[in-house]
Structure 1
Amino acid sequence: MTELQLEQERTEIKNAYRGLLRACKRVRSKEDTREIRRAFDIALDAHKDMRRKSGEPYIYHPIAVARITAEEIGLGTTGIICALLHDTVEDTEITLDDIENWFGPKCRQIIDGLTKISGVFDQTSSIQAENFRKMLLTLSDDVRVILIKLADRLHNMRTLESMRKDKQLKIANETLYLYAPLAHRLGLYAIKSELEDLALKYTEPEIYNEITTKLEKTKAVRNRFINRFTLPIKRELDKLGVPYSIKGRTKSISSIFNKIKNKNIPFEEIYDIFAIRIILDSAPNAEKADCWRAYSIVTDFYQPNPDRLRDWISTPKGNGYESLHTTVMSPTGKWVEVQIRTERMDEIAEKGYAAHWKYKETAKGESNLDLWLTKIRDLIENPGNEALDFIDEFKMNLFADEIFIFTPNGDLKTLPKGATALDFAFEIHSEIGARCIGAKVNHKLVPLSYGLKSGDQIEIITSDKQKPKEDWLKYVSTARAKSKIKHELKEEKKRIAEDGKERLQRKLNHLKIEFNSDNVQTLQNFYEQETGLDFYYKIAKDKINLSRIKELEVVKGNLKLPKAPSNRKKSETPPTLLTSPKNKDQVILIGDQSGAFEYKLAPCCNPIPGDQVFGFITINDGIKIHRENCPNAVQLMAHYAYRIIKAKWNSDNVVEFLAGVRFTGIDDIGLVHSITQTISKQMNINMKTISFESHDGIFEGKIIVYVTDTDHLDNLVKELKSLKGISTIERIEVE
């Protein structure tokens, strides 16, 4: 680089640092500024020879992460220092001892939590899961670890353009799978929405661009509507005497996409593309009353939908979210969502309750977040959890909507929607859960599997003779209950296995065969048992016939297998060498090599030419080709990135594939004839199956057709859409 370019870079770095200082102006003293400057100088020197994939100096990244933690999350000086130094221990010569000497034990603890475990992050699924577990282990000690990690992920997502396509997909899917729901659970709504939107930008680029364009085109119309709608409300709020602001909040792109997909409606028919937000500057002791007065003003002008009132002020969400939500009918016949909250509530809703926890010291007693952190800590430290099970169960807690349940004494407990009486028992205490035989809900006896509803009052009935059973796992939905049941079952299995071990020892002594690890391993192989625990357990349960030991050969006191078992399981190591297929006219090209490999099209998404695809190396079934937007893609890429390989369609081959289309519309004479004519005559497409159902003047049809690629299918959809009477049409998976 020329001296001029280097000087320009130095100027840009200084400007980025000044921007960081402006972002944290409210929370820093002169001493804080000196500490932040010292951390910046250390990071600048440590990363001086490093550059990002985009080619820019690496120091831009820690500065940007520090600015997000200060400006968008609201952390103070310690958080900013740790964000500036978060990659130094992992990527440079700086050690945790250095961090502690410079900035104290608290910064060391946080940066240790942020530092990845040794080894490649995504080399194996268990390392990836263990890394996530390690990060969460510091959660109840200092929640800033998670907040800085989310800031780090947000900046990586904002600068993802410079990465390779396969890396973009891996990081985007991992973000959807773990980090967006984590931000949601911690109350970081703005960050959660942006992470989901940025992930959608790379997983579904066409849909993302289409929705973005439509939002931009309708912006002026939305603004005019909001101004007219809020005018009478503003006049009355002025009389109330409480300072306020009103703004229109547009729904996130990912939320709009989910609505289109789940409700099967076009963009134009989504009534809550935006919401009106009324934010009051109320005194702490008048917040609730002011919000309800504002609600009264809104409903004086517009008719509310009684089924759409949500009062999260009286009963805040588990992540600290407080707000009044109502949906009202506008003069133009459109439903409009109105959110009413105070400045304090709005700050918590946008930046997250976690940012204020333990640092403001205003709340007395144990907050909802404290309780949640305690649950997560309990889950993380449970030794019975495998890493991947842990990730799935932790995620289950992040996604869950909440219900509110009362104890016999009237105490309020929060549980995820779908929780059962048995979930509640484990929520109270592990011992109560393990001894639970039933429950009384609203004074009526119910079984363990009874599904709870908000407002239920529940009393747990226990017995000292009760023990957890395998089928209990079907009755529970919370991660805590599942974890405790699995742990108890495993402990019980170990106790039973000890009996099996003693029986095997007696049998071998009787046969004058030494009981040692080699002989036990030989017996395990002979009986085809993967673990010693399973082997001893099945002996105790009489599922293994020990008299068959006589079939084995004894050489100098050691057992020998007469021959390798005929039905031994295949190795679980993914194949490193894949044989070339006999058919040279391959439709899919795998990886970067010119040679072709054998593969199968995944039945879960049935890709066709034109779909963006990837290859997944299975353990026993070779390479499976999936669509990038396959329902299983998020989990595969988040858990098993090391088994993902590039794949693309070979445009030189023309092969027909099965694709499905579902459509709905108004039942009319001759419509079926028009559809079949369009498919067979006009488009010259062969059909495999076709079916129609009609109910009360509305029909739903499904066809399975042979097409060559996505363009072929898109043209068919376009032609069918143009037929009079068809209202919706979508691609479906072929079963």
Structure 2
Amino acid sequence: MMRQYELVDRVRRYNPHADEVSLNRAYVYAMKAHGAQKRASGDPFFSHPLEVAAILTDMKLDDATIVAAVLHDTIEDTDSTREEIDKLFGSDIGRLVDGLTKLKRLDLVSKRAAQAENFRKLLLAVAEDVRVLLVKLADRLHNMRTLHHMAADKRARIAEETLDIYAPLAGRMGMQRMRDELEDLAFRHLMPDAYTMIAARLEDLREKNDKIIATIEKELATELTARGIHANVEGRQKQPYSVWRKMERKSIAFEQLSDIFGFRVVVDNVEDCYRVIGVVHTKWAVVPGRFKDYISTPKQNDYQSVHTTVVGPGRQRVELQVRSELMHDIARNGIAAHALYKDGRSAAKESLTSESRSYQWLRRTVALLAEGATPEEFLEHTKLELFHDQVFCFTPNGRLIALPRGATPIDFAYAVHTDVGNSAVGAKINGRHAPLLSELQNGDEVEIACAEGQAPPAVWEGLVMTGKARSAIRRATRDAVRAQYAALGRQIVTRAFERAGKAFTEDKLKSALPRLARPTIEEALAAVGRGEMFSGDVVRAVYPEFMEERKTIVPRPRGEAGWFGLKKATSLVFKFPGGDPELNSISHNGSHGDLPVRFAPNGGAVPGDRIVGILTPGEGITIYPIQSPDLTAFDEEPERWLDVRWDIEESRHELFPARIRIIAINEPGALGTIATVIGDHAANIDNIVFKPISADFREMTIDIEVNDLKHLNTIISHLRARQVVSKVERVNG
């Protein structure tokens, strides 16, 4: 266990002006507070906070962070209080220890929903002061180093959580050295056989290639020295987890990996980085497509280096990373390498936002909470941001946008601004028109075309790569659906008030909201539109004296041919001549006999649509999607409206009619391309009508049969991505 003077010496090595009094007081206070407490290993518990502090001294962090590390378990595991810590060590350290105490109470290995909520709290806490995160990561690293003392089931849960959250979070903060160790320790406990196999293969490979590596190091160093460049050349080997992840991602064998070994060249300054590249590219042949400049365009975790691959001595492929000393420090320690917490000045914290892209990302991520994302959506967004490599694209005015690899112009649009994403209708990549689903590449210049009043299709949610885009699309979809239900609910409620002979105003409904347990008028109307609330309940909430007689007929399913899976009905309110309002239902042997059901012409309806039925006495029920303009013909006949819903068995694979209108370029093969898209998605073409609208364009109205609304939207989205298609939209009436 580290002695008191050793702790002070470790800090003074990089900070001669360290606050020795505070460090000594923290050591003695924590030792007394933890007393005879033991860890699972049998070691004194006090050894753990000392090891955490030692990890942070390796990162050369400020005195307050080291003191907080020594004290980080005192409030949680001893009789110490926040007030006592504040009094002895100051409010700054007290706040850090209190933040760590709250994080310690988070059980991130609990069920997924609770894990999401706790992860949200974690990022909220560390967004206040990044030093909380640094101590937390060091705490997790020491716990992982001693994980073998824990029970097997607990080891697996903690290792999985480390691999799932803490290791990628360390990487996102630029702390690659810590990420590598966390990943390998977790990998060792989660997949011991795979770890042992890969580690053994790496050891054998290193023994075989030792001479080659030494030769390349020497030849490269000699060449740079001859050119007057002071450089440290070092061979490096991939970590077992990194090797395993690449084998899994690319589905290749160990023998097929070509980049297990690489070389790092560390020089004095940025100019020398590019001089090294010039020397290397002059002496050896470059492997095309393997040059990346992260100095001019740093990664979002502040990583900077120039990467290249050449065919070096002995025809060996040699991967090189070239960076300065400062870049090397940031590459290993990330946000902890910034000078802002090393000088002990309180003003340093204020410079963090401008100095560190990592911390800017953290604050942007936490800002999503203000947009109303659920904990699960927040965790989904953050994981998307944590786990993807990046590409760098530009707006037409030169603004740099960093996106996950595989991102599309849709992701780009949402990265620029949510309103741009919601209204996006087209894109230009490097000056040429391109589908919105095109995969972006490094260096692309992207221009987004927008249309006022446009709303993002729900199908986009499953096609984008960024959490910001996904959550924005999901939110826009929810808002659109809520507005649609509210509009339907308003119609239903208005008719209910008319039948009751009562006046309907929003002011009266607003005063009745507490009785309806709804926060807003829109929510109340949407609840009626969704069938969650009966319109008569709204009337009675506004006019408590109102009485309505109702009788209920239980819906009965219909399965014979000619019936299409519309099996249940709710709130089917209409008037019989000379009678009171009744609830009726579709049934095949009920009191009203068989009611034939058919789809409306000119577009039909598909599962997923909000639908209504129009009753025609003696003929049956015609089903319309709620957005059909044909419904306006029945506005003056409220007694014919039936509110119905879908009830489709998952095992059934029926197709339902829909109509789409396509504006296509008039060129050979256009129809074939469109038909292929529809056929590839297992939809059926029932009818096609052509209409020339100009010499260059043709309008096609196509009746197709699809499984449901998602199936239809997927087809429309893929049609829009074809170059021969100028416009495609669904038709209802």
TM-score w.r.t. the length of structure 1 is 0.64
1:306, distance to aligned residue in structure 2 (A): 2.4
**Deviation string, structure 1 residues 321-346 (Cα, Å, up to 9, x no partner):** 11122223344343222222221111
64, 79, 92: which is aligned to 1:93? 79
Secondary structure (helix, strand or coil) at the match of 2:102 reads: coil
Q: Write out aligned runs for 1:201-240 (5 A).
A: 201-240=188-227
387, 390, 396: which is aligned to 1:402? 390
CA distance in 2: counterparts of 1:96 and 1:533, whole angstroms:
46
**Deviation string, structure 1 residues 108-154 (Cα, Å, up to 9, x no partner):** 33333323366755454333222221121134432222222111111
Specify whether residues 30 and 441 from structure 1 end up closer, same or farther in structure 2 by C-alpha distance, changes over 3 A only.
Answer: closer
Match of 1:466 in 2: 454
1:33, distance to aligned residue in structure 2 (A): 2.0
Match of 1:379 in 2: 368
1:493, distance to aligned residue in structure 2 (A): 4.6
Specify whether residues 148 and 273 from structure 1 end up closer, same or farther in structure 2 by C-alpha distance, changes over 3 A only.
Answer: same
Tell me, yes or no, if the aligned pair for 1:36 and 1:81 is still in contact at 8 Å.
Answer: yes
**Deviation string, structure 1 residues 252-292 (Cα, Å, up to 9, x no partner):** 01112223434455445533222122211x2xxxx233122
CA distance in 1: counterparts of 2:328 and 2:364, whole angstroms:
26
Give the stretch that moved more between structures: 400-409 or 419-428: 419-428
CA distance in 2: counterparts of 1:447 and 1:224, whole angstroms:
51
Secondary structure (helix, strand or coil) at the match of 2:262 reads: strand
1:238, distance to aligned residue in structure 2 (A): 2.4
Specify whether residues 44 and 127 from structure 1 end up closer, same or farther in structure 2 by C-alpha distance, changes over 3 A only.
Answer: farther
Tell me, yes or no, if the aligned pair for 1:233 and 1:297 is still in contact at 8 Å.
Answer: no
Tell me, yes or no, if the aligned pair for 1:186 and 1:352 is still in contact at 8 Å.
Answer: yes
Match of 1:443 in 2: 431
Whose radius of gyration is greater, 1 or 2? 2
Tell me, yes or no, if the aligned pair for 1:160 and 1:168 is still in contact at 8 Å.
Answer: yes
Q: Write out aligned runs for 1:124-203 (5 A).
A: 124-203=111-190
Specify whether residues 232 and 507 from structure 1 end up closer, same or farther in structure 2 by C-alpha distance, changes over 3 A only.
Answer: same
Which stretches in structure 2 are left out of the alignment for 5+ residues? 343-347, 503-508, 539-543, 558-733
Specify whether residues 156 and 508 from structure 1 end up closer, same or farther in structure 2 by C-alpha distance, changes over 3 A only.
Answer: farther
Secondary structure (helix, strand or coil) at the match of 1:245 reads: strand
**Deviation string, structure 1 residues 12-48 (Cα, Å, up to 9, x no partner):** 352xx44443432334345522212222222222222
Give the stretch that moved more between structures: 242-251 or 108-117: 108-117
Tell me, yes or no, if the aligned pair for 1:247 and 1:277 is still in contact at 8 Å.
Answer: yes
1:564, distance to aligned residue in structure 2 (A): 12
CA distance in 1: counterparts of 2:490 and 2:374, whole angstroms:
28
Match of 1:482 in 2: 470
Is 1:289 aligned with 2:271? yes
Which stretches in structure 1 are left out of the alignment for 5+ residues? 1-11, 525-531, 568-735
CA distance in 2: counterparts of 1:128 and 1:435, whole angstroms:
34
CA distance in 2: counterparts of 1:82 and 1:38, whole angstroms:
12
Specify whether residues 35 and 432 from structure 1 end up closer, same or farther in structure 2 by C-alpha distance, changes over 3 A only.
Answer: same
Is 1:254 aligned with 2:241? yes
Specify whether residues 300 and 422 from structure 1 end up closer, same or farther in structure 2 by C-alpha distance, changes over 3 A only.
Answer: closer
1:192, distance to aligned residue in structure 2 (A): 1.0
Tell me, yes or no, if the aligned pair for 2:108 and 2:118 is still in contact at 8 Å.
Answer: yes
Is 1:430 aligned with 2:418? yes
Specify whether residues 543 and 457 from structure 1 end up closer, same or farther in structure 2 by C-alpha distance, changes over 3 A only.
Answer: farther
Is 1:309 aligned with 2:296? no
**Deviation string, structure 1 residues 515-570 (Cα, Å, up to 9, x no partner):** 9999979xx9xxxxxxx999953642689996999xxxx9x989999999999xxx
Q: Write out aligned runs for 1:230-379 (5 A).
A: 230-280=217-267, 282=268, 287-356=269-338, 358-359=340-341, 367-379=356-368
For CA contacts below 8 A with separation 6 or more, give which structure has more relative contact order. Answer: 1
TM-score w.r.t. the length of structure 2 is 0.65
Secondary structure (helix, strand or coil) at the match of 2:314 reads: coil
**Deviation string, structure 1 residues 303-362 (Cα, Å, up to 9, x no partner):** 331222222222221111111222233443432222222211111111114541644768
Secondary structure (helix, strand or coil) at the match of 1:138 reads: helix
Is 1:389 aligned with 2:371? no
1:241, distance to aligned residue in structure 2 (A): 3.5
Q: Write out aligned runs for 1:324-723 (5 A).
A: 324-356=306-338, 358-359=340-341, 367-383=356-372, 385-496=373-484, 537=526, 539-540=528-529
Secondary structure (helix, strand or coil) at the match of 2:289 reads: helix
CA distance in 2: counterparts of 1:423 and 1:82, whole angstroms:
40
Tell me, yes or no, if the aligned pair for 1:382 and 1:483 is still in contact at 8 Å.
Answer: no
Match of 2:21 in 1: 34
Is 1:109 aligned with 2:98? no
Match of 2:65 in 1: 79
CA distance in 1: counterparts of 2:42 and 2:556, whole angstroms:
56
1:174, distance to aligned residue in structure 2 (A): 0.9
1:447, distance to aligned residue in structure 2 (A): 4.8
**Deviation string, structure 1 residues 478-519 (Cα, Å, up to 9, x no partner):** 112222333344444555555566667668876799x99999
Secondary structure (helix, strand or coil) at the match of 1:115 reads: helix
Secondary structure (helix, strand or coil) at the match of 1:327 reads: strand
CA distance in 2: counterparts of 1:500 and 1:215, whole angstroms:
65
Give the stretch that moved more between structures: 294-303 or 44-53: 294-303
Specify whether residues 435 and 300 from structure 1 end up closer, same or farther in structure 2 by C-alpha distance, changes over 3 A only.
Answer: closer
Match of 2:54 in 1: 67
Tell me, yes or no, if the aligned pair for 2:513 and 2:524 is still in contact at 8 Å.
Answer: no
Question: What number of residue pairs does the alignment pair up?
Answer: 536
